[in-house]
């Protein structure tokens, strides 16, 4: 039984603790499972530990002098807790880091070339690029301009496209909606959903924009203060009154009936 | 005004300037990948020249074989420097890496002094010292050869930065973290840039060794090379070439006017003035990269 569960999860993170500079405990025993071919969201407020969780999975922690001090991460059944970041990309984990971070002085086309895995033939690379341009037609139009001058939405598309060149099996995105107009968020999320359906790509999405994220994922984890405090299907989370109050901005619409006691995040205490 | 004399000064200045560019290209390569001006580039150039001489004189190989072989040795040395010294400093403040390159320069100078001594040795490339006349203008052959080498390297690197490996190096220069995130080996990229800069150092070492002899003074080329690189913008190879020509011409013509007034030695003053003024007035140099700010 256990075996079977393992096989269904492309990624399994068990009670992972992360230390920065050997002292600051950033996440305290986070467990997250990503079933193969599904889209999962990590929700939570600023500084809750969502980005750290992604960095622990992609191995980018090391670049910020962080390390996993407890717990383990397995990807397709292989323990990757100690694997270097480059190896994890080769295995099929790609992390679209926060803030887009495109290679500004390169053209979009060169951005895609830069991410090509070692040994990828020219024809495969061109096929990958064509596929990405088909998903993001806006990128195709501007492929030879300087990436630093693309709009925010286009840069986010480029960052996702650049990750796709590495031929990932698990794509992790850190706040792709940050600073983008709602219609752009909708467009990008729609494309993500399409890629997920067409290619069976598993997606782990970190979002503060819970409303948009819960529309496209199947399950969500809520992280607060470095711990997973809630986990459920997207439907269950959407209908949870605490989630509505704190993350969806819904709940009270009638100001005459506003509750007079202040609601607390009860699960924190 | 004697126009023939002036153009002779300008042309020879430009040729000398291209030799500064030859040196500066190495600085630019490393700056592009690690955002650090490599203060050991002078030391590398000197070691490049010594390795050529060691292979040619001590081992007895012909020069046409000794030079490419020295390039291979130096390529390995460049990679080795990244592996042994720089990798530990990844993520540390840039000033630490700067100090490391300074220490490396002193170390290389000391090493050559210990092995080969301080006596100046000649390169003996076999380039003729007979004057070459272009109309009435006298041109030095070795300078012409060196300028040709500089331009050839310039073209080679422009092409290289369009290849996949070259694009990856430029990506590393743009953003370390994003490079890691898509599986680019930043460490190997930085190593490669040091290796390539070390190969450029062999070219510069051979040409400059022929002109002024091979000894520890070769490492002092750093001052002029750094001035050229800063004027060109530190991360632009085209900038290094054009800034080299500008500095060479300004230095040659300026010195001709100023030397009679101050009694000689104004060359160094002009170079220093160019360096200081560039940093004060135009810190990005002529072709340096600005950080892009979208509005």
What whole-number distance in Å separates Cα of residue B264 and Cα of residue A142?
A: 56
Helix (H, G, I), strand (E, B) or coil at A15: strand
Tens of pLDDT, residue by residue over B244-279, are 999 999 999 999 999 888 888 889 899 999 999 999
Taking an 8 Å cut-off on Cβ atoms, the answer to whether B184 and A115 are in contact is yes
Give the pLDDT confidence score for residue A256 in this predicted structure.
Answer: 55
Q: Answer whether A181's CB lies under 8 Å from A209's CB.
A: no
Q: Is B290 on the interface with A (CB under 8 A)?
A: no
Give the pLDDT confidence score for residue A255 in this predicted structure.
Answer: 53
**Mutate which: A91, A102, A110, A163, vs B, most B CBs within 10 A:** A110
Share of chain A above pLDDT 90, in %: 78
**Angle between helix B221-232 and helix B3-34 axes, rounded to 10 deg:** 80
What are the chain A neighbours of B93 within 8 Å (beta carbons)? none
| pLDDT band, very low/low/confident/very high, at B39 (cuts 50, 70, 90) | very high
**Mutate which: A56, A63, A93, vs B, most B CBs within 10 A:** A63
List, as ranges, residues 53-112 from B with C-beta within 8 Å of A.
Answer: 91
Q: Is A102 on the interface with B (CB under 8 A)?
A: yes
Tens of pLDDT, residue by residue over B83-111, are 999 888 877 788 999 999 999 999 999 99
Asked if residue B47 has pLDDT above 50, the reply is: yes
Residue with tokens 């007034």: B261
Q: Is B1 on the interface with A (CB under 8 A)?
A: no
The arithmetic mean of pLDDT across residues A112-137, rounded, is 96
Helix (H) or strand (E) holding B5: helix B3-34
Q: List the single residue in A60, A114, A162 with the smallest CB-CB distance to B177.
A: A60
Give the pLDDT confidence score for residue A250 in this predicted structure.
Answer: 55
Distance from CA of A2 to the nearest CA of B (A): 32
Give the pLDDT confidence score for residue A1 in this predicted structure.
Answer: 41
Task: List the structure tokens of A244.
Answer: 């509505």
Reported ipTM: the value is 0.88
Please count the CA atoms within 13 angstroms of the CA of A46 that sit on its side-chain side.
1
The distance from CA A239 to its chain's CA centroid, rounded to whole angstroms, is 23
Q: List the single residue in A60, A63, A113 with the smallest CB-CB distance to B167.
A: A113
Q: List the single residue in A63, A89, A148 with the smallest CB-CB distance to B183.
A: A89
Q: List the single residue in A103, A117, A166 with the smallest CB-CB distance to B171.
A: A103
């Amino acid at each position: 039984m256990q075996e079977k569960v393992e096989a269904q999860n492309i990624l399994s993170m068990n009670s992972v603790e992360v230390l920065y500079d050997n002292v600051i405990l950033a996440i305290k025993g986070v467990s997250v499972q990503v079933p193969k071919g599904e889209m999962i969201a990590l929700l939570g407020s600023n500084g809750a530990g969502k980005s750290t969780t992604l960095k622990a999975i992609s191995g980018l922690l090391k670049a910020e002098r962080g390390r996993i001090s407890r717990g383990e991460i397995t990807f397709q059944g292989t323990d990757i807790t100690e694997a270097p970041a480059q190896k994890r990309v080769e295995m099929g984990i790609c992390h679209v880091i926060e803030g887009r971070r495109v290679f500004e002085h390169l053209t979009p086309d060169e951005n895609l070339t830069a991410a090509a895995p070692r040994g990828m033939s020219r024809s495969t690379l061109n096929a990958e690029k064509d596929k990405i341009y088909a998903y993001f037609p806006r990128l195709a139009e501007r492929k030879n301009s300087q990436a630093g001058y693309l709009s925010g939405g286009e840069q986010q598309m480029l960052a996702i496209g650049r990750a796709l060149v590495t031929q990932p099996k698990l794509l992790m995105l850190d706040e792709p909606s940050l600073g983008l107009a709602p219609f752009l968020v909708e467009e990008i999320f729609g494309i993500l959903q399409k890629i997920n359906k067409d290619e069976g790509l598993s997606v782990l999405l970190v979002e503060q924009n819970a409303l948009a994220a819960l529309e496209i994922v199947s399950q969500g984890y809520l992280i607060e203060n470095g711990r997973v405090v809630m986990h459920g299907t997207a439907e269950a989370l959407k209908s949870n009154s605490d989630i509505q109050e704190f993350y969806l901005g819904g709940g009270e619409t009638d100001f005459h009936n506003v509750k007079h006691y202040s609601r607390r995040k009860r699960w924190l205490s | 005004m004697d126009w023939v004399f002036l153009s002779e000064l300008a042309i020879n200045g430009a040729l000398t300037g291209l030799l500064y560019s030859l040196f500066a290209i190495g600085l630019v390569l490393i700056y592009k990948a690690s955002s650090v001006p490599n203060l050991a580039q002078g030391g590398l150039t000197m070691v490049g020249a010594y390795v050529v001489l060691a292979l040619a004189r001590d081992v007895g190989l012909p020069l046409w074989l000794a030079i490419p072989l020295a390039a291979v040795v130096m390529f390995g040395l460049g990679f080795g420097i990244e592996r042994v010294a720089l990798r530990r400093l990844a993520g540390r403040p840039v000033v630490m890496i700067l100090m490391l390159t300074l220490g490396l320069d002193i170390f290389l100078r000391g090493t050559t002094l210990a092995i080969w001594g301080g006596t100046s040795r000649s390169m003996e490339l076999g380039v003729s010292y007979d004057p070459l006349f272009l109309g009435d203008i006298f041109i030095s052959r070795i300078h012409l050869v060196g300028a040709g080498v500089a331009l050839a390297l310039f073209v080679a690197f422009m092409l290289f930065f369009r290849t996949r490996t070259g694009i990856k190096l430029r990506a590393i220069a743009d953003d370390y973290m994003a490079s890691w995130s898509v599986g680019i080996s930043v460490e190997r990229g930085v190593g490669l840039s040091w290796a390539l800069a070390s190969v450029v150092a062999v070219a510069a070492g051979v040409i400059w060794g022929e002109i002024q002899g091979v000894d520890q003074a070769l490492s002092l080329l750093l001052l002029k090379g750094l001035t050229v690189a800063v004027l060109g913008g530190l991360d632009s190879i085209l900038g290094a070439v054009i800034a080299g020509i500008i500095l060479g011409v300004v230095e040659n013509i300026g010195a001709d006017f100023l030397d009679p007034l101050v009694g000689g030695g104004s060359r160094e003053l002009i170079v220093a003035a160019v360096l200081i003024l560039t940093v004060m007035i135009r810190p990005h140099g002529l072709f340096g990269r600005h950080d892009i700010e979208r509005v």
